[in-house]
Amino acid sequence: MSLAAHVLGFVGADGEGKYGVEGARDDILRGRAGSERQKKDSLGQLIDVLGGKDSTPGLDLVLTLDYNLQYIVESKLKESIDRYKADSGSLIVMDPKSGAILALAGQPTYDPNNFSKLPTAEQYKFLSPAASNAYEPGSAMKPIMMAVALDSGAVTPETTNVFGPSVTVLGKTITNAEGKVYGQENMAQVLENSDNVAMSWISSLVGAKVERQYYARFGFGAKTGVDLIGESAGSLQEEKEWNDLLRSTAAFGQGVSVSLLQLATAYSVVANGGTLVTPHLTEKTLDGEQATALEYKTRGQVIKPETAKQVQKMLEDVVLLGHGKRAKVVGVRVGGKTGTAQVPDPKGGYYSDRTIGTFAGMFPIDDPRFVMAVRLDNPKTVKFAESSAAPTFGEIAEWMANYFQLR
């Protein structure tokens, strides 16, 4: 296995870094050639050296990756793709307080030692799918929408309503998975049951303008600034396009697209008390014995700390009582949310036979040290993310609980 191929990238025949950190940090790694100003006679013979600049060697970079965790993440992702017969997948683990990425994996991948042998049609494999491949995340977006509703004052955790089997918005009918009806729910139960009808109602209390403003503040529709080549900004339509239907569907993760990295960064806002961090893969430069830390700015306070705490508690309830039970870890409090997203059909609507399973979460929930997001594309042996992405999350979190001595 070629470990961390999407993170590392490679150096091309021209000596330039390509893809991954090699491409994104080429200016640091490659150094600069020297120059010399010369005086010559009419025959081109050197008369004098007038000055110049010495060459400067490149610096070494220290990555944020944890080698052992990276190995486990890549192995478990591959196992899950095989087990659930998924087309592809990606996975990220990050420190929500600093934005440091501790593991980043994607399948299919490539061998950076033999990159030149990859056919042109397969060179998309050079890009990290977690950063470059945007998708509609489905119900994994609901905790973000709940944070918006709580922070804006549209609801409180105790807000209760009775929700039926469907709601019609601008002529389109919104239903729950498998047509389920949940009746009376408070806000925690809305997330536990993953109620689309309820999310549509909650979004109506917030309003399209405020919803979109918060989504932008969470970082959707803009690149995170991660030190990788080929990052996607996803899509967040202009404010004028946010009618009541888009407002409703965006509340449960349809009509907007995000990368897995953007989703993990948004969950980090909930995990760290409300701040949008800059995800990154490089920690410091080394010049011989001299180490210099690289600085990454936070990008603003998105939600209030008390809002973050409220959503953390709701996410724990999802794992204990809702669709996230298979992400549980004995002795560690975990919070998270599933998403079984439909895949848009370029001809219009959504495919009836394709889904993307996501689980995004954090732990330990009382003071989260880790955010993890798992994406499995078109798994074929199970129907919902609670049976694919959630157990993948749980297996890795179980290993991490031992490795990082969390219990």
Measured CA to CA, the distance from residue 294 to residue 17 in angstroms comes to 19
Which residue is listed with tokens 């977006």? 141
Model confidence over 323-375: pLDDT tens digits?
999 999 999 999 999 999 888 888 888 888 899 999 999 999 999 999 999 99
Measured CA to CA, the distance from residue 76 to residue 318 in angstroms comes to 23
Model confidence over 217-226: pLDDT tens digits?
999 999 999 9
Model confidence over 172-217: pLDDT tens digits?
999 998 889 999 999 999 999 999 999 999 999 999 999 999 999 9
Catalytic residue numbers?
A: 139
Question: Given this model, what pLDDT does residue 33 score?
Answer: 58
Cβ atoms of 84 and 340 closer than 8 Å: no
Q: What percent of the chain has pLDDT over 70?
A: 95
Question: Given this model, what pLDDT does residue 200 score?
Answer: 97
Mean pLDDT of 125-144: 96
Inform me whether the pLDDT recorded for 54 exceeds 70: no
Q: What percent of the chain has pLDDT over 90?
A: 81
Lowest mean pLDDT among 54-63, 234-243, 271-280: 54-63
Question: Given this model, what pLDDT does residue 177 score?
Answer: 86
Question: Given this model, what pLDDT does residue 170 score?
Answer: 95
Measured CA to CA, the distance from residue 341 to residue 248 in angstroms comes to 15
What is the model's pTM? Answer: 0.92
Determine the residue type at 360.
A
Average pLDDT of the chain, as a whole number: 93
Mean pLDDT of 381-388: 91
Measured CA to CA, the distance from residue 219 to residue 180 in angstroms comes to 32
Confidence band, pLDDT 50/70/90 cuts, at residue 40? confident
List Cβ neighbours of 134 (8 Å cut-off, separation of 6 or more). 232, 233, 234, 235, 257, 258, 259, 262
Element (H, E) at 225: none
Inform me whether the pLDDT recorded for 42 exceeds 90: no
User: What residues are paired with 35 via a beta bridge?
Assistant: 53
Cβ atoms of 24 and 30 closer than 8 Å: no
How many other C-beta atoms lie within 10 A of the C-beta of residue 399?
Answer: 17
Give residue 272's Cα distance to chain centre: 15
Structure tokens at 29: 């790694």
Inform me whether the pLDDT recorded for 108 exceeds 90: yes
Measured CA to CA, the distance from residue 219 to residue 399 in angstroms comes to 30
Mean pLDDT of 280-290: 92
Mean pLDDT of 51-56: 61
Cβ atoms of 106 and 163 closer than 8 Å: no
Residue 219 half-sphere exposure, CB side, CA atoms within 13 Å?
Answer: 31
Question: Given this model, what pLDDT does residue 53 score?
Answer: 65
Structure tokens at 347: 């001809």
